[in-house]
Structure 1
Amino acid sequence: MSDPQPIHDEDDEEREADGLRKIIHVDMDAFFASVEQRDNPELRGRPVAVGGSSGRGVVAAASYEARKFGVKSAMPSVTAKRLCPDLIFVKSRFDAYREVSRQIRAIFHAYTPHVEPLSLDEAYLDVTEDLQGLGTATRTAQAIRRRIREETQLTASAGVSYNKFLAKLASDQNKPDGICVIRPGEGAAFVQSLPIRRFHGVGPRAEEKMQRLGIATGADLAEKDTAWLRAHFGSFGDYLFRAARGIDLRPVRTNRIRKSVGGERTFSEDQSHPDELRETLERIIEIVWDRIEHNKARGRTVTLKLKYTDFRIITRAQSLGDYVADKAQFAGVARDLLEAQLPLPLPIRLMGLTLSNLERDAGAEATERKRDDAQLSLL
């Protein structure tokens, strides 16, 4: 299928008349690895992985030179090194990534106040209101990508469409350093031309199940009705029904609701000795509490996560009657959760800690619930 054509001015006028949104999804290209290559000229043009190179290390990000060998994020470092013997590992520098992310978001806000960050390196923008008078959403996306390159020396890809689902699909279409536009009336055909693995939310297990059921493409999925999809996929079937038709009524949410704040550590060697576990927990407490303060989060539930050497995962949580008051209380609950598990039945390879059940604005919660109910009623 050829790439959808840019949106023209008359299309924008039609969109506004129909009440359709103009959504851009901006996704930085190999963000962490690109920052490292930018800041260290010796890494440019070479296969780079951000992450630990030890036996239990995991790739956090891979440059496009490394991706040619099959290296990708979340891959064990030993596997990545086997695929690409010349792979260069560099330690992550999240302070540097956050600083670049702040620069990028400042650029976004020059074009719209309606920005929904998804992570440090991607965001949705609602540019229905043309603040800069550029005429089309496509020109706005081009201007944003140009400024990102000029001000950060990094590249970004963008998807432009009339809803979030399509914009995100489009941003992946011409990576790296590309742009793709899906105009009104093109969404369903675009989605149905794609392999099912391109659908966001469809992981390896869901894809395997769909293949067994004879679903390989969006077109195959579009042939199924809601009753069939619900019977095989539960509530996920409702999402699949809408996605196969290019339907997504979610607005860009400027104040995206965070559900939890946390962190975890994967060990280079399995741990089981109580003193080692307690020491690790203290380090995680320090990291997570710093994130809690940075996000100004207030929560009621503290959860401890342990992954045993046999890959079995358990979580143990304690919910308080009021929000966690301070670091001392947070640490105390975390320590109690760990002590209750000692001695461990097996060594562990990972420990994590989160604060959840976060404070939310009651009015925003009610509005969100009504909006979700309205979306369902339209389908």
Structure 2
Amino acid sequence: MAYEVAGLVARSKGAEVTKETVVIPDPGPRDVIVSVAACGVCHTDLAYRDGGINDEYPFLLGHEAAGVVEVVGDDVTHVAPGDFVVLNWRAVCGSCRACRRGRPWYCFDTFNASTPMTLADGTVLTPALGIGAFAEKTLVHELQCTRVAPDTDPAIAGLLGCGVMAGLGAAINTGAVSRGDSVAVIGCGGVGDAAIAGARLAGASTIIAIDRDTAKLAWARDLGATHTIDGSQAADVVEAVQELTGGFGADVVIDAVGRPETWKQAFYARDLAGTVVLVGVPTPEMQLELPLLDLFSHGGALKSSWYGDCLPERDFPVLIDLYQQGRLPLEKFVSERVGIDDLEAAFAKMKAGEVLRSVIVL
């Protein structure tokens, strides 16, 4: 039996989202219908709306979500009705070349639902990151559902579905931050502050937050930064990082902005043989120019972090457990809880840097 639910749709490039009737078909053999409890407002949703991802309009937005499994397909074994789950966009296949090499966090053939959701007139919807969770219910593949402790606040749990996991994973998984390391994070929005929280969780001794916004720097301190650098005031950000690290630079520098200028700062602000992690997403036109000799002489590792190089089944339950133990303050990322009609206002606050995360509660 098909369901008709309310959902938020981007119909054309740059147009404001509209609340539409979304038709959810019967689940395929390995698909499930999830009743969405809460979904964070991520910059990726804005990028979909504004044409920064692709042009496969209309989009059903939303992907940073948690909810309860309601209906399952005939062959589903991974979850059952009633399970509380966080949705993910890395449902690894287990058989592609990355998975076969033991690197499933790079899976090149992740699973999505087998049949599309549509508008009431039959128009096929493209769900954001294969999820589409700014809706009362959504249809996903069973492996896009990760069970976590059912007593977790959905507004908090859902943030692991994208931005917070991206930042935490950039520090813990990609950057391999360990006890006593020095870490610098450039850009202290939701992803950057999650990287700071991850560095603190991993035991870094010096955690330097870099941003041009004093409010964001205050958030960074609250989440574990030991030092802050105001990029609008510092004469040279690289020198400022070196001054805080004995003149050497940081062991790990995480660029959560994703611009050529900030990546170069990250490159030169690290210690000799240190690690640079790019987790901020560049736009297609951006170009990087760097002396090849500098690349050789500095050594170390230059990495990109996709979704925090996470494995949802491994990472989500552990991080929720750490949150429940009081060791990971995920609740601090929820700046406000809003309704399904408030998405455009939430986008505006996000662009203005007024929030870490707005969360739509359904």
TM range (shorter): under 0.3
* Larger RCO, structure (CA 8 Å, separation 6 or more): 2
- The structure having more radius of gyration, on CA atoms, is 1
**Greater strand share, 1 or 2?**
2
Q: Could you state the TM-score of these two structures normalised by the residue count of structure 2?
A: 0.26
